[in-house]
Amino acid sequence: MKKFSLVKTGAVALAACALSAGATAASWPERPITMVVPFTPGGTTDMVARPLAQLLGDELGKSVIVDNRAGAGGTLGAGYAARAKPDGYTIFMSTIAHTIAPAIYKHLPYNFEKDFEPITVVASVPNILLVNKKLPVNSVQQLIDYAKKNPGKVNFGSAGIGSTEDMAGEMFKSMTKTDLVHVPYKGGAPMMTDLISGQIQMAIETSGSAAAQIKAGTVHPLAVSTLKRSKFFPDLPTIAESGVPGYDFQTWYGILVPAGTPTAVRDKIYEATVKALKDPKLVKVFDTLGADPGGMKPAEFKTFIADQTKKWGEIAKAVDMQKN
């Protein structure tokens, strides 16, 4: 009888927990939500995150506040988000860099595939090979020739070690057999400032950050990083067709939540995000960034992350990118 009583008591407790979780999910959100962006304000990740956060807030009925936590190629922000309470009040804006990082850093304070639950890919953009306007080159091939004649004198910038610009630049360096020097920054915005001023000579920057500077004429674009030409930059050739066969790099952005976040809450975030991605206002913003809206289902995103992690792990090993 006593054993039955304990079992019954346990069942009641589990039922109570289930009811509590259900009630919490049903009433969520009851307060503002934080979207952790692991790069500095003004970079492409930030430019994707802010209009999305605004529309998510409209859809969910509570403000979504952007919290920029930059550093270490986006891994500091990822570590912070991974440790957050899994209650739906922390959303993490990830990028392709977070599937590259495991192959570069020996001791990450989180496991990207285990410590997060994927929601969806938000957008994808090509990177654009940019050079300082004073550099005497007008094509990718001329840049390669110049770099080979001036070994160690062409610096390429990035938003940090392990960032998309870092990987794109290292790939270019390896595939062209040029002696380029990597200069990491704490974000894309300060890197772009130094590219314009001539402190660095080149960058393979995301189109979101590059588009405004290209339009303003402050940098010289040479090519896009994807295998196919971009509809947003139709006059630019691809790096692959410009003397580097097989070069292919595309940056993506996605949102995740800490592992353990209730399924019902994750479903609400996914549904609100898909609606936001179809909003004409956001589509217009993405067009200015050269970005294609995402929307893949959580399960598809999970598989995508696993595939990307494996792919970039193999590439990082091939070009010897492990940093510490």
CA dist., res. 215 & res. 123, Å (int): 21
Task: Tell me whether residue 13 is in a domain.
Answer: no
Helices (H) and strands (E) in the chain, counts: 11, 10
Which residue, 214, 242, 270, sits at the end of a domain?
Answer: 242
pLDDT value of residue 19: 43
Asked if 254 and 120 sit in the same domain, the reply is yes
Render each residue's pLDDT in the chain as its tens digit; 324 residues.
444 454 445 454 544 444 445 546 788 999 999 999 999 898 889 999 999 999 999 999 999 999 999 988 889 999 999 999 999 999 999 999 999 999 888 889 999 999 999 999 999 999 999 999 999 999 999 999 999 999 999 999 998 887 889 889 999 999 999 999 999 998 888 999 999 999 999 999 999 889 999 999 999 999 999 999 998 899 999 999 999 999 999 999 999 999 999 999 999 999 999 999 999 999 999 998 889 999 999 999 999 999 999 988 888 887 776 555
Asked if 302 and 238 sit in the same domain, the reply is no
Q: Which amino acid is at 92?
A: F
Global pTM value: 0.81
Asked if 114 and 152 sit in the same domain, the reply is no
Which residue, 192, 221, 242, sits at the end of a domain?
Answer: 242
pLDDT value of residue 323: 56
Helical (H) or strand (E) element with 223:
strand 220-224
pLDDT value of residue 188: 85
- Taken as a whole, the chain contains a residue count of 324
pLDDT value of residue 16: 45
pLDDT value of residue 2: 47
pLDDT value of residue 76: 95
Strands 64-68 and 33-37 come out as: parallel
Report DSSP state, residue 138.
S
Q: Which tokens sit at 144?
A: 């390669």
Radius of gyration of the chain, Cα coordinates, nearest whole angstrom: 22
Q: Tell me which residue range forms the domain holding 44.
A: 31-124+250-318
CATH number at residue 194: 3.40.190.10
Asked if 237 and 270 sit in the same domain, the reply is no
Decide: 42 and 213 in contact? Cβ < 8 Å: no
pLDDT value of residue 322: 59
pLDDT value of residue 18: 46
Asked if 254 and 289 sit in the same domain, the reply is yes
